Amino acid sequence: MNPLDLALAVLAAAFATSLIRAFRGPSVADRAVAADVGLFAVVAAIAILAVRAGSTAFIDVVLVATLLGFLATVAVSSLVRRPPS
């Protein structure tokens, strides 16, 4: 078994764990943080898949996903507001 497959399995576990907080999280900020961690796990998985497939084409995907994740987090942060009480 390729050791990179084990790394991908660990990243899948991390993604599933962050989904728990995304479903449960009481506020929008909790969900945004959980989505951030989930995206980091996906980015790392894409980078490892690039090694697994032996192709550098996946690395461009890593660049774009990193920047889009940052923009998404900043955009969501403007939607975090006081819950109606």
Site for another protein, rule CB under 8 A: 3-4, 7, 10-11, 13-15, 17-18, 20-21, 26-27, 29-30, 32-34, 36-37, 40-41, 43-44, 47-48, 50-51, 56, 59-60, 62-63, 66-67, 69-70, 73-74, 76-78, 80-83
Query: Within 10 Å of residue 39's Cβ, how many Cβ atoms?
Result: 19
CB of 1 to another protein, least distance (A): 14
Give the residue among 12, 8, 9, 35 at the shortest CA–CA distance from 23. Answer: 35
Angle between helices 57-77 and 28-53 (to 10 degrees): 180
CB of 42 to another protein, least distance (A): 10
* Residues making up the chain, counted from first to last: 85
